[in-house]
Structure 1
Amino acid sequence: MSEVAGTQESALSRTRRLWLRWFFVGLGLWMATLVVVLLTGNPNLIPTLVLLGSFLVPVTFVAWAFERRGTDELTSGLVFSTFVTGGVLGVLGASVLEAYLLHPSAWLFFGVGLIEEAVKLLALMVLTRHLRTRSLRDGMILGAAVGFGFAAFESAGYAFTALFTVDGLSITQLVQTELIRGVLAPVGHGLWTAVLGGILFAGTRQGRFAVTGRLILAYLGVSALHGLWDSMHSISLYLTLVLTEGERLRPSMQGWLIEPSAEQVRLFSVLEWVGLALISIVGTVWLVVQWRWSARASAGFRVRRRASPVVPNI
């Protein structure tokens, strides 16, 4: 009997580590593709390099979250559909709205945050409207799936754009873009939409989604984090100029060009990365607190079910 239990526990442990195997297999395929592209110069492999690098981290984190789902109604098919469909709908909707509603201004990035978080939330609501059971934890997982899908397709676009430079195709720029966005992906779109998804599901009333005050505040909060994240480059540049002697100019054939000092370059880099780190910490703490609260809520629900009396059939 103990051997059977040990075998079942070992199988469950292997299942729970599936996301880790996916990550290393995907990383190996991406590195192999990169090596072949560099050796052969075959441009037909560039789409493979873009897709593998853009989807590796988002898919891994969605798989990790799926293993910790709260109900059996949350199936792999549903998570996959929210990842792909939600991601595509989010990218398309955000692109259209940003093109028609936003104009260059100091608040441009906060407008982007408001639009993209609203579009991802609406995509989540549409794709999960038929779910009968909606737990806070499952809302966080499905929200993360939509957010990471958005991030994957967006990263693919950025990587593809980085490929083209004034000097021709640049594999170096493409790889740098994928590495940076891959490292930052866990604390971006997936995290923000996970927070919103949990609060959306927790506020369900009589099987219907409800726009509660808590959901509105959470939406404004994650949109603010999103806007600060996108504008951190500009904020760091402004602070650098304030804290130093300002811009230096040098003459050239094209006119006067800005030439930052070594001190300005170092200060700018520090300010930008520290700012991104602080935003990431705030979002991560918010997510962890909500996740732990969902675990306590799920435990309480299971206790109430075990404690409820069983009425025999007559």
Structure 2
Amino acid sequence: MSIQTFTPHRRPQILGVLATGLVLYWIVWKALVATGDPLYLPALFVVGAATTPLAFAVYVSRLAGPVRVSARAVALYALWGGVVGTVVAGVLETGTARVLGGVPTPFVGLFEESAKLLLPLAVVPFVRYLRHRESDGLLIGVAIGVGFAVLETMGYAFVTLLQSHGNLAAMDHLLIERGILAPAGHAAWTGLAVAALWRFGLQRTVRSFLGFAGTFALVVALHATWDAVHAWWWYAGLAAISLGLLHLRLWRAHR
């Protein structure tokens, strides 16, 4: 069986992705402000929500080195994992809110992190056949986290625009804030969880299963804490922990 690789020299530069996204965002924003035409809003949502997470995915792919998953597969994981994750998490949260009158913060973390693992759980029995490595799982997890974050940010931007009665400044602030924080949130958390899941799929031992269970519990705790706090120093600390653990996991995967 031939294996497609996703090697560093074939990937665009991270700064190029960021610069392209920023320029496109500025162009669309200026057109929206100048004309007031709501037809520009979808383009603004997509570019604003996707630029930083996409650049982070490129960054992780470079660190992962040659992996046994194609660029097309990574994109499909991002699309399918993101869509399935947001839909399932939304249904669970809505159902819980109807029963309990609200959704406790720990439940949000549990629902969303579980929903993002549905696609990887369907694939993990075949990781040996696909000759994947733990770094493949980490990259796939980051891609799914990016897809989830982009779709969620677009949804929040739309809701903010409606609730603020067309306040473009409020929408712009949300897109920028969530775009910057997304790599340290959904992308890092899902990358950690799927990397641990891939290790279990490769080793199939009690120790690797407990490692996955512990990683998943940690990810849910980080997510719940993130949702519970509303201060920049908390976000900075949680971001440092999440990104630090992701880099440590990648280093261990290479070893």
- TM-score, normalised to structure 2, is 0.87
Q: Given residue 89 of structure 1, which amino acid in structure 2 is its aligned partner?
A: V
How much does 1:157 deviate? 0.3
Query: Which of 197, 200, 203 is the equivalent residue of 1:200?
Result: 197
State the partner residue of 1:56: 51
Aligned length: 244
Deviation sequence 1:181-233 (CA, Å, 0-9, x none): 0111111000001111111111114789x981111111111100000000113
Deviation sequence 1:107-138 (CA, Å, 0-9, x none): 81111101111111122222565441221111
Deviation sequence 1:214-256 (CA, Å, 0-9, x none): 11111111100000000113xxxxxxxxxxxxxxxxxxxxxxx
Q: CA RMSD in A?
A: 2.3
**Partner SS for 1:212:** helix
* 1:117-196 alignment, distance < 5 Å: 117-127=113-123, 130-131=126-127, 132-165=130-163, 168-196=165-193
Distance 1:154 1:287, change over 3 A: same
Contact 2:110 2:220 in 1 (8 A): yes
Question: Any unmatched runs of 5+ in structure 1?
Answer: 1-11, 234-271, 297-314
Contact 1:141 1:194 in 2 (8 A): yes
Contact 2:11 2:58 in 1 (8 A): no
**Partner SS for 1:133:** coil
Determine the C-alpha separation between the residues in 2 that align with 1:70 and 1:164.
43
**Partner SS for 1:73:** coil
**In terms of Rg, which structure is larger?**
1
Percent of matched pairs sharing the same residue: 27
Contact 2:145 2:186 in 1 (8 A): yes
* Alignment of 1:36 onto 2:31: yes
Determine the C-alpha separation between the residues in 2 that align with 1:214 and 1:121.
16
Determine the C-alpha separation between the residues in 2 that align with 1:81 and 1:16.
17
Distance 1:140 1:30, change over 3 A: same
Distance 1:201 1:160, change over 3 A: same
Contact 1:134 1:202 in 2 (8 A): no
Determine the C-alpha separation between the residues in 2 that align with 1:207 and 1:186.
29
* Alignment of 1:276 onto 2:248: no
Q: Higher RCO, 1 or 2 (CA under 8 Å, sep at least 6)?
A: 2
- TM-score, normalised to structure 1, is 0.72
Higher helix fraction (1 or 2): 2
Question: Any unmatched runs of 5+ in structure 2?
Answer: 1-6
